[in-house]
Structure 1
Amino acid sequence: MTERHDSVDGVDKRLLEGFSTSFLNESAVYSDPAYRAKFLSNEPRRNIHVYVALQDELRRSSEFFFSVAFFTEAGLSFLKGDLQDFVCRGGRGRILVSDFNYFNKPKDLRRLLEMVESLNAFAREKNQEGSVSPAIEAKLFRCSSEEGFHTKGYVFKAGGLYRMIVGSSNLTSPALTENREWNVRLVGKREGEVTERLVSEFESLWASPLSFSLKTELPRYEKDWEEKRPIFVPRPQKTPAPEQAAIEPNDMQRRVVDSVYQLYREGKKRALLISATGTGKTYASAFTVKKIAPRRVLFLVHREQIALQSMASFKRVLGGGFGDFGLYSGHRHDSGAKYTFATMQTMSKDENLAAFGPEAFDFIIIDEVHRAGAASYQKIMSFFKPRFWFGMTTSPDRPDGFDIYKLFDNNIAYEIHLQTALENDLLCPFHYYGITDLEVDGEKIEDERSFNLLTSDARVEHVLREARYFRFSGERVKGLAFCSTNRECEELALKFTERGAPSAALSGEDSQEERAAMVERLEHGEGPARLDYIFTVDIFNEGVDIPEVNQVLLLRPTESPIIFIQQLGRGLRKAKGKDYVVVLDFIGRYKTNYLIPIALSGDRSYNKDNMRRFVKEGGKHLPGASTIYFDRIVERRIFQSIDSAQTNSIQLLKESYRTLKFKLGRIPRLVDFELHNAVDVQKFFENKSLGSYYAFLKAYDNDYKVRLSPEAEQMLTFWCSKLGNSKRVSEALVLEDLLQGRDRVLARLRESLWKNYGINASDQHLKNVVLVLTNQFCKNSLDQERTSKCVFLEPEGGDYRISGQFQATLQASPEFKAMLLELAQYMKRRYNSEYIKRYQETDFALYSKYTYEDVCRLLNWSRNMTAQNIGGYFYDKETKTLPVFVNYEKSEEAIAYEDRFESERILIALSKTKRRVDSPDADHMFKRTPEDRGNRIYLFVRKNKDDKEAKSFYFLGEMNAVGDPAPVRLQTGDAAFEIRYELEHPVREDIYDYLTNDFESSNEEN
């Protein structure tokens, strides 16, 4: 976020408004949130954490100082990404910690010192300044017998303002994420009494003879700490690591057991468990076996290493003698065990199947069952006849189109995804950092074909430097690195080893023994046997447990959300001495970068605004102590990818539809897409070759047999493509009444809007609804001709009823009526979730997006106007409304208009050409005549008018022209005038940053 440059008077005004909101009456005075005091506390169940406030302030400030008694390396990890960006922007900071009660461990102080030195190196490289003064300084306050030190204060300076967070939170992970802490953020100028006292107090402590440079004082502290350190009582883990846990199921596993047992008792033959990596699927299956107590069990996997790990888990749960557990693989053929753990490759051979017989097992478990579409699995499943099949997978969705759900009779025993697992503390927290990948000599890493760049010395040093800066949790790094090719793995492993990070490359060609040996060296190796990293393409994507992995390097483009989560999941298992895992994603200029926010958020709607918002503030919505950070260049790269992505393509719609149909075992209804986190239904409506969900089904699902008449199809397309977004609820209410055979349409609408939504419908509103539903709200005669059948109302006694043509079409096709009933329900549901929070007395929702046609309709205009006729803004005399449309990123050919934000609350805009300061346009904007006093001016802004999907604008609320119009002369020689607008509400930070960032001209030096 850029610093504000408000006038002095403007700052004072906002501070007074902020004080009034914060301390006098919250609802009486609206104020800019950036100028308010704010109470800060952790509310883990609502994903509210104190560390987010520290991150926000770092992003907006140019200077900071921290004074904290206690800190830990885990606490520092929340700020590492933002601190790196801070110093690269030229920021300056000071950190003061203490030896109070010898709480701070020397190793944590050592990590702080290493971080400070790394940040200063970054600053020197990025800023290339002649000054030798460090960007970040750290001191240690040595308490005397007379003076203790227990401060917890974080002060940030931006422009002439100080934002001060003081309270009970030290710089530790529990204090910033989960403990009950009380803190207050105050905002003030240096001249204010509180600000002056706080800043002076810090300066006094910093200059105190008891404050020493951390670098010079650390050796003495280490000696003192050994003599005087307290005895630390370990903080109990909420969910012990599996090797420490009592053999009891956790809540998730208990639900799985109960669900499968219920299906088993009901006589069902199959069940499917969908569970995120690291959540204990294998233990869940073992507890299920313990509950059901089958005669013999077969556990099928695709690798021997996984079979051995699964066997060990079952032994811990079930107990029993040595002979009860057997391995059936290429190396061993234990055919008589009660619990047999077999590889698919071995079991699928004819001679091995014959050795058992079809009824040898009465309970068969298939791990990673999304592979079951393969011929070898199908052969096994066709041969055996158990009482029950139990499949387990992180994701049953298959790119080859095989229906895993149907294979298990659509019986989903339980489903738990990454976000839910984090909420339930089943996984280790992660810190994800999206980092700019290197560009070497001006060449860009765009795909895996850039081999020479991917394995260059410069890139290796870049990756290692970032890996060493962001570090890991534990005594030493135990990392997995995922690359695009085996060749790349081999070269990078060699170069990492040469630079003091012993590494190895593994591929599918390596034997199970070789893999196991490498994993052992990674987890437990010492001296020459130690490995810091294993490089691989995909052999660790699933199945293999390496709990001690504490750093994951993603050195390849994200091309699948499923694979992304699988690889992220390699580090999410809990282990002793591991508080979190660090995930470093090196992001180049990849077209598929938009998949990153989809993968991390778990949102499969492919809604671009959801993606953008997650990139800006995704970490604010993650459960527990996990965080997400994207550096500024990566942010821009992902935004570019989102803008250019085609998220309503037929291919994407077909894939999402197929997945949902497989899951449900039937053709999905409109509401199913939302309930099951599938693609947004609007994607079907917005695709120009479709226009409706029905058109998609007719074209792409052979199981769908319904066919509508041309008249019905035109009407359905009208409702879906023009009104299905339900940006106001009126049309949905009218449609429902028409389908139920009710008359007096307008009277009912007025009553329903008031009773159910508190909306007092104006005559203009009702008139506009009639225009829309009688096909009169059209841009031109050609537009009207294309929808000639779409007349749904006809007059009756001063009101309206259903038109004869619409009624006849409904009577001729019960299927058509059913579709519209379903659509009406969907529209109401969508309105209630997306648009019900109306802005003032309008039909707009703040920060939602609207097309030109939406705006004309929701402002209740009598006509629908083309963009060309609107021309940037248009004054409608009848409704006294003036919407202003801004294309913030303009093409090079566009006339050099200078519409621009000065801050989140101030917009500078230009009039149309050939307009003077005394023109009617200026009268309407500055409300200079009695007739213009009641004018309402609304702002609509979009980033890129050339985005083929995004033909809509963010609604940013009402604004007013301030001061006087200023005459200007354009480059064309034409006259115009400049308007200074002040928005009623400052633009939300994520949208402001997205709109104002200049992606094309931004400097992407690395």
Structure 2
Amino acid sequence: MSTFIKSLEDSLYKGFIDQDRIIKGKYPPKLLVNNSNKNEYVLNSIHEELEQCESFIFSVAFITESGLATLKSYLWDLRQKGIGGRILTSTFLSFNHPKVFRELMKIENVEVRLTDIKGFHSKGYIFKQKTHFSLIVGSSNLTSNALKVNYEWNVKLTSHENGEFIHHFQQQFEDVWGKASPLTENWINRYEELYTPLVNSKIIDRIGEASSQYAGNAIEDALKIIPNKMQQAALEQIQALRGEGKQKGLIISATGTGKTYLSAFDVRRFTPKRMLFIVHREQILNKAKEDFRRILGGLEEDFGILSGTTRQKNARYLFATIQSISKEEHLSSFAKDHFEYILIDEVHKAGAGSYQKVMEYFTPQFMMGMTATPERTDHFNIFELFDYNIAYEIRLQEALEEDMLCPFHYFGVTDFEYDGKLIDDASKLSELVTEERVKHIIDKINYYGASGEKVRGLMFCSRKDEAKELSLLLNEKGFNTVVLTGEDSQEEREGRVNQLEAGTIDYILTVDIFNEGIDIPSINQVVMLRQTKSSIIFIQQLGRGLRKHDTKEFVTIIDFIGNYKSNFLIPIALSGDKSVNEDTTRRYTKNTSFIKGVSTVNFEEVARKRIFDAINDMGSQTKRLLKDAYLELKNKIGRVPKLVDYRTYNSIDPNVIINEYATYPKFLKIVDKISTSFSEYELKVISMLSIEVMNGKRLHEIILLKEILLNGEITVQDYLNVLKENNCYVDENTLKSVERIFNLSFFTKTDQAKYGEEEIIVLENGSYKFGEKTNNSIINNKEFELHLRDICDTAFEISKRYISNEPLKLYEKYSKKDVCRLLNWENDEKGTMYGYKTKHGTCPIFITYHKDESVEASIAYEDALINQETLLWFSRNSRVIESKELQPIIHAEERGIEIHIFIKKDDDEGTDSYYLGKASPIIDTVTQTTINTDNGEKPIVNMNMIMETPVEYNMYKYLTAE
């Protein structure tokens, strides 16, 4: 019986007969639902099946542009492999828009047919895999809401190719397919002529759209406009800030989330006699003024503008450009307390002298600053300007989850290769604007498309000369594009923006001038033709398309990913993760389901590889990234951050600091010239606790350290009770292991010397307490005690990513030293473990999946994951089946030995490996063979091992990909 058949039988038994049966199969029937709390979506399973399939068929009644967009990059990758599929759909209820059929026509490796069966309402997805068929059937049509948001029930089943069940589905499909009409351009034209769309029942809850009905001046009409959910929460927090006597506040709110309306609502609540609203560009003034009129009501003359062309300084509500209000002639014409309430838009620019001049002059009762990006690359402290009072903060991920922004589909696509060389930051203009690259760009922007009837796009280029030349070439190809740079006047910019909104041009090509401060709600495509040098700028540019508009359902983001060392910033920017932890960044690149709502993040396969390459090289920039993050957090909280602050404020992973600098005091001294009063011994203790305990991989040490810091000592029994209260596994071996960590006996002689050689925690008379030398330091140096508490608090926060009732967690990374500790070995034996070692009833096996070409032949074993549940493993060379070190592994089950598998993709990932769980050898696969080494042919043993838990798909794909 084949491995697949056995696995399938076990899986079906568990799924349909006994849910408690312990199996090693990976094919149990599954109910697929959308669960945003767990980042689990129906779409994830469809992606997984598409990536592995040899062909596919979909039978779906309804398809939307957005739903199709979620699959486009996967279908593109299948096309590159020569794999195609078929989609059967219909015109039932006139749900499918003609444009979605035009989008389907772009996908060359998918054949589409239309059935005229009355009431066609099927929803099924069938994938042919190498060994089996997968079927997803239930309630989800091919729409982004059905695949990511709606409450849906779908069942995923696995069948052998001879299974009767799958044959029924295939036969049903083929019967309808044979009678269906092929999708052609002529068919679409006829359908378009007869098409009558369904009534759009979508409820618009965005205040900017809903408010147009209140165009009158009457205050009672204005009061009918109510804040949305985010604005209500923000208003309460702003009011609470003022209730504490604060006179300044900072609103940090993602682009498109309604900052202007929020500020207007707060002004309505505050009811100032006079208000000043400051912006940095004149084109924003009129819109801001009209938005305020809708919210506040009142007479026309209450609202005035102060700019280069208009001077209505007597208005109750004055809207001014910073260029005008900062001029001495205007500034001095107002009393310092003339305005009770001052608002500053895009306040991250307030480091400029003009802003400083205005802010120092006026003395309002309350001043509000608003920005989407308070962080600045020059590290000017915007937070300090507002007394570190963050009134409210909502970032991109939260705004998407609250449906405050237009959904987006991000596509990381591969940039063009010129003479076999991928575009990089050293590329010449002649390489950036070749005929072939222009064709490549056009192919991508057409394939991924844009929501709505007509594209309205922004293209961000790397250089002005590139933008100008590219615009000329695109226009020659039938596009209507223009270029805007910092050299163009404000009037020219406004005129071009109006043309884009009106649909008379297709694209504006620019370099950086539209990163912020420009409002073009109808933009439905953003094209990035430059490397990502800053996650702040990345989000600013992506944000240009995130405002909701009636003409679009989503915005398409097309990011051309070249050979740039800064590519790792892309998953950092999209996820909002600032940890600077390479493994976390890999995680967000492997699995992009972190994006909430109907939005998606998609990478073409080659583009994803470019990002992984950049992550592997991320270490060369770590010191700079750490310093930037430190200064950013210091600015935000107004003091030197503690280690735990980095966790509290979602900043860098403190362990990255420790990995780079060994201790936080050393880091502070280097990046900020801050000296501490620690003795040499105290620094060694700090180093030990930072390196060995703060990683949070075992809660036991953290709890013991915390209890002794709080109470001076703790009895063994009380310690055991606290462990149980924290759901920690408790046994004698683990207890002894914890003791060996703190008395340093676990460590090598080299590490013992590095950590001070004295016992940090001792066991005396049934109680744990600090060793004498450590205790004296705590008594005599308060700063030392506070730092230990900080390490302890930080470790507790980090430990939340692990599990307390098991020593190892699937898919987390561990070093050989970690594994020795967590498996309760008496000593750190990393130096003699090599690829595997059996001890104390355990056998950890460490595998480097892709070995470097320089690795000598004698250890270049061909270990491989045959599939998600089977590992082909090789012993060291010069071993035979009868070897003493192999017998316990071969007969692990009968001897009660637990085999633990750890794999890293390659040596670029460092020393730590992903834990893939326990495994069991398949005895009848144990084979003795030979391997060629530098010293001739040597015997070697290989065998298949079955994983106790099949390897999670994203991890399997990452490890096995070349």
For the aligned pair, the TM-score class normalised by the smaller chain equals over 0.9
Please identify, of 322-331 and 578-587, the stretch whose mean Cα deviation from structure 2 is larger.
322-331
Please report how far the alpha carbon of residue 783 of structure 1 lies from its aligned counterpart in structure 2 after TM superposition. Answer: 3.4
Q: For residues 311 and 196 of structure 1, do their structure 2 counterparts lie closer, same or farther at Cα, with a shift above 3 Å needed?
A: same
Please report how far the alpha carbon of residue 664 of structure 1 lies from its aligned counterpart in structure 2 after TM superposition. Answer: 1.7
Please list the CA deviations of residues 880-936 of structure 1 after superposition, one character each: whole Å capped at 9, or x if unmatched.
2221111222222212322222122222222222222211122121128x9x71222
User: Is the aligned partner of 1:670 residue 2:638?
Assistant: no
Q: For residues 343 and 207 of structure 1, do their structure 2 counterparts lie closer, same or farther at Cα, with a shift above 3 Å needed?
A: same
SS of the aligned residue for 1:358 comes to: coil
User: Is the aligned partner of 1:154 residue 2:125?
Assistant: yes
User: Is the aligned partner of 1:725 residue 2:710?
Assistant: no
User: Is the aligned partner of 1:970 residue 2:932?
Assistant: yes
- State whether residues 647 and 794 of structure 2, in contact with CA within 8 Å, keep that contact through their aligned partners in structure 1: no
C-alpha distance in structure 2 between counterparts of 1:524 and 1:244, whole Å:
22
Q: What runs of 5+ residues in structure 2 fail to find an aligned partner?
A: 214-224
Please report how far the alpha carbon of residue 160 of structure 1 lies from its aligned counterpart in structure 2 after TM superposition. Answer: 3.4
User: Is the aligned partner of 1:25 residue 2:18?
Assistant: yes
C-alpha distance in structure 2 between counterparts of 1:220 and 1:695, whole Å:
70
C-alpha distance in structure 2 between counterparts of 1:241 and 1:383, whole Å:
34
Quote the residue 1:954 is aligned against: 914
Quote the residue 2:45 is aligned against: 53
Quote the residue 2:65 is aligned against: 73
C-alpha distance in structure 2 between counterparts of 1:711 and 1:220, whole Å:
81
Quote the residue 1:787 is aligned against: 755
C-alpha distance in structure 2 between counterparts of 1:798 and 1:358, whole Å:
70
C-alpha distance in structure 2 between counterparts of 1:75 and 1:585, whole Å:
20
Corresponding letter in the other structure for 2:655: Q
Q: Which runs of 4+ in 1 moved over 6 A?
A: none
C-alpha distance in structure 2 between counterparts of 1:45 and 1:576, whole Å:
29
Please report how far the alpha carbon of residue 99 of structure 1 lies from its aligned counterpart in structure 2 after TM superposition. Answer: 3.2
Paired residue for 2:628, among 636, 652, 655?
Answer: 655
Please list the CA deviations of residues 109-161 of structure 1 after superposition, one character each: whole Å capped at 9, or x if unmatched.
3332x22xxx32xxxxxxxxxxxxxx321111123xxx542222111111131
Please report how far the alpha carbon of residue 800 of structure 1 lies from its aligned counterpart in structure 2 after TM superposition. Answer: 5.6
Paired residue for 1:568, among 523, 529, 542?
Answer: 542
Quote the residue 1:557 is aligned against: 531
Corresponding letter in the other structure for 2:933: Q
User: Is the aligned partner of 1:242 residue 2:208?
Assistant: yes
User: Is the aligned partner of 1:193 residue 2:164?
Assistant: yes
Residue pairs, 1:30-429, within 5 angstroms: 30-33=23-26, 35-43=27-35, 47-112=39-104, 114-115=105-106, 119-120=107-108, 135-143=109-117, 148-208=119-179, 211-215=180-184, 218=187, 221-222=190-191, 226=194, 232-240=198-206, 242-245=208-211, 247-429=225-407
Q: For residues 810 and 9 of structure 1, do their structure 2 counterparts lie closer, same or farther at Cα, with a shift above 3 Å needed?
A: same
Please identify, of 856-865 and 637-646, the stretch whose mean Cα deviation from structure 2 is larger.
856-865
C-alpha distance in structure 1 between counterparts of 2:169 and 2:68, whole Å:
23
Residue pairs, 1:857-936, within 5 angstroms: 857-867=821-831, 869-876=832-839, 879-895=840-856, 896-927=860-891, 933-936=895-898
Corresponding letter in the other structure for 1:707: S
- State whether residues 38 and 186 of structure 1, in contact with CA within 8 Å, keep that contact through their aligned partners in structure 2: yes
Paired residue for 2:514, among 540, 561, 578?
Answer: 540
Corresponding letter in the other structure for 2:227: P
Corresponding letter in the other structure for 1:679: I
- State whether residues 754 and 760 of structure 1, in contact with CA within 8 Å, keep that contact through their aligned partners in structure 2: yes
C-alpha distance in structure 2 between counterparts of 1:683 and 1:269, whole Å:
37
SS of the aligned residue for 2:88 comes to: strand
Please identify, of 750-759 and 550-559, the stretch whose mean Cα deviation from structure 2 is larger.
750-759
SS of the aligned residue for 2:652 comes to: coil
Residue pairs, 1:555-954, within 5 angstroms: 555-618=529-592, 620-646=593-619, 649-687=622-660, 690-701=661-672, 706-740=676-710, 743=713, 746-762=716-732, 764-779=733-748, 781-794=749-762, 796-797=764-765, 801-831=769-799, 833-836=800-803, 838-839=805-806, 843-867=807-831, 869-876=832-839, 879-895=840-856, 896-927=860-891, 933-947=895-909, 950-954=910-914
- State whether residues 261 and 291 of structure 1, in contact with CA within 8 Å, keep that contact through their aligned partners in structure 2: no
Please list the CA deviations of residues 674-720 of structure 1 after superposition, one character each: whole Å capped at 9, or x if unmatched.
12110011112211xx3222332344446x66412222121111111
Please identify, of 852-861 and 585-594, the stretch whose mean Cα deviation from structure 2 is larger.
852-861
Normalised to the residue count of structure 1, the TM-score between the two structures is: 0.90
Corresponding letter in the other structure for 2:679: S
Q: For residues 102 and 794 of structure 1, do their structure 2 counterparts lie closer, same or farther at Cα, with a shift above 3 Å needed?
A: closer
C-alpha distance in structure 2 between counterparts of 1:215 and 1:984, whole Å:
49
SS of the aligned residue for 2:333 comes to: helix
Q: For residues 418 and 168 of structure 1, do their structure 2 counterparts lie closer, same or farther at Cα, with a shift above 3 Å needed?
A: same
Please list the CA deviations of residues 328-387 of structure 1 after superposition, one character each: whole Å capped at 9, or x if unmatched.
222222222222222212222222222334333221111111111111211111222222
Q: For residues 42 and 882 of structure 1, do their structure 2 counterparts lie closer, same or farther at Cα, with a shift above 3 Å needed?
A: closer
Normalised to the residue count of structure 2, the TM-score between the two structures is: 0.94
Corresponding letter in the other structure for 1:150: H
SS of the aligned residue for 1:242 comes to: helix
Q: For residues 178 and 235 of structure 1, do their structure 2 counterparts lie closer, same or farther at Cα, with a shift above 3 Å needed?
A: farther
Corresponding letter in the other structure for 1:545: D
C-alpha distance in structure 1 between counterparts of 2:404 and 2:862, whole Å:
52
C-alpha distance in structure 2 between counterparts of 1:49 and 1:632, whole Å:
21
Please report how far the alpha carbon of residue 740 of structure 1 lies from its aligned counterpart in structure 2 after TM superposition. Answer: 4.2
RMSD: 2.3
C-alpha distance in structure 1 between counterparts of 2:92 and 2:366, whole Å:
61
Quote the residue 2:220 is aligned against: none
- State whether residues 838 and 845 of structure 1, in contact with CA within 8 Å, keep that contact through their aligned partners in structure 2: no
Corresponding letter in the other structure for 2:113: K
Please report how far the alpha carbon of residue 942 of structure 1 lies from its aligned counterpart in structure 2 after TM superposition. Answer: 1.4
Q: What runs of 5+ residues in structure 1 fail to find an aligned partner?
A: 1-7, 121-134, 999-1006
Q: For residues 325 and 719 of structure 1, do their structure 2 counterparts lie closer, same or farther at Cα, with a shift above 3 Å needed?
A: same
Corresponding letter in the other structure for 2:579: S
Corresponding letter in the other structure for 1:392: M
Q: For residues 752 and 701 of structure 1, do their structure 2 counterparts lie closer, same or farther at Cα, with a shift above 3 Å needed?
A: same
Please list the CA deviations of residues 373-407 of structure 1 after superposition, one character each: whole Å capped at 9, or x if unmatched.
11121111122222221100012112222111111
Please report how far the alpha carbon of residue 92 of structure 1 lies from its aligned counterpart in structure 2 after TM superposition. Answer: 2.2
Q: For residues 790 and 846 of structure 1, do their structure 2 counterparts lie closer, same or farther at Cα, with a shift above 3 Å needed?
A: farther
- State whether residues 940 and 953 of structure 1, in contact with CA within 8 Å, keep that contact through their aligned partners in structure 2: yes
Q: For residues 793 and 41 of structure 1, do their structure 2 counterparts lie closer, same or farther at Cα, with a shift above 3 Å needed?
A: closer
Please list the CA deviations of residues 89-116 of structure 1 after superposition, one character each: whole Å capped at 9, or x if unmatched.
121211111233444343433332x22x
SS of the aligned residue for 1:621 comes to: coil
- State whether residues 68 and 142 of structure 2, in contact with CA within 8 Å, keep that contact through their aligned partners in structure 1: yes
Q: For residues 52 and 887 of structure 1, do their structure 2 counterparts lie closer, same or farther at Cα, with a shift above 3 Å needed?
A: closer
Quote the residue 1:15 is aligned against: 8
- State whether residues 296 and 338 of structure 1, in contact with CA within 8 Å, keep that contact through their aligned partners in structure 2: yes
- State whether residues 728 and 805 of structure 2, in contact with CA within 8 Å, keep that contact through their aligned partners in structure 1: no
- State whether residues 750 and 761 of structure 1, in contact with CA within 8 Å, keep that contact through their aligned partners in structure 2: no
Paired residue for 1:482, among 460, 479, 503?
Answer: 460
SS of the aligned residue for 1:326 comes to: strand
